């Protein structure tokens, strides 16, 4: 698949969720540094998709992109939420919110639920898609956090 086709396919996969008023609420909340949760989730979805392509992984592209985009769909500012265990709790909050607002497959739910592994030690990714999102989320989060440190 050439680059233009892959980019067009990613846009096709993300378009409906990214344009939804409910997911746009994530723009109100900062994830890391100055990046909104919406932009973080969009980055994780994009990088997960292209990582899987680069490695020629046979994945369910729609589940990969949808699960990645909704992985932090918890809809609050975790910096002021007074939940010191946010890292442990937010995957289940994201699952509850996402399943309330969207029809999700079991694989998409697993992607969201397991993205914080190994912090959430019992929520091991059970598919290639979930493993990719788990890894890419950490890469994106680290980059965002280091960027914050560099700015200061």
What domain count does the chain have? 1
Local structure of 32: helix, strand or coil: strand
Question: Model confidence over 15-71: pLDDT tens digits?
Answer: 999 999 999 999 998 877 788 999 999 999 999 999 999 999 999 999 999 999 999
Q: Which range marks the domain in which residue 125 is found?
A: 3-151
Q: What is the CATH number of the domain that holds 86?
A: 1.10.3210
pTM of the model: 0.91
- Tokens of residue 112, six digits: 């969201």
Question: Model confidence over 71-118: pLDDT tens digits?
Answer: 999 877 666 666 656 666 789 999 999 999 999 999 999 999 999 898
Q: Rg for the chain (alpha carbons), in Å?
A: 15
């Amino acid at each position: 698949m050439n680059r233009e086709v892959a980019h067009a396919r990613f846009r096709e996969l993300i378009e409906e969720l990214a344009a939804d008023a409910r997911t746009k609420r994530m723009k109100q909340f900062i994830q890391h540094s100055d990046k909104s949760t919406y932009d973080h989730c969009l980055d994780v979805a994009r990088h997960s998709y292209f990582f899987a392509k680069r490695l020629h992984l046979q994945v369910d592209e729609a589940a990969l992109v949808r699960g990645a985009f909704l992985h932090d769909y918890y809809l609050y500012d975790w910096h002021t939420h007074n939940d010191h265990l946010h890292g442990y709790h937010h995957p289940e909050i994201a699952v509850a919110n996402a399943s309330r607002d969207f029809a999700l497959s079991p694989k998409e739910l697993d992607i969201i639920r397991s993205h914080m592994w190994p912090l959430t030690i019992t929520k091991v990714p059970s598919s290639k898609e979930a493993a990719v999102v788990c890894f890419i989320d950490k890469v994106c989060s680290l980059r965002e956090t280091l960027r914050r440190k560099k700015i200061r």
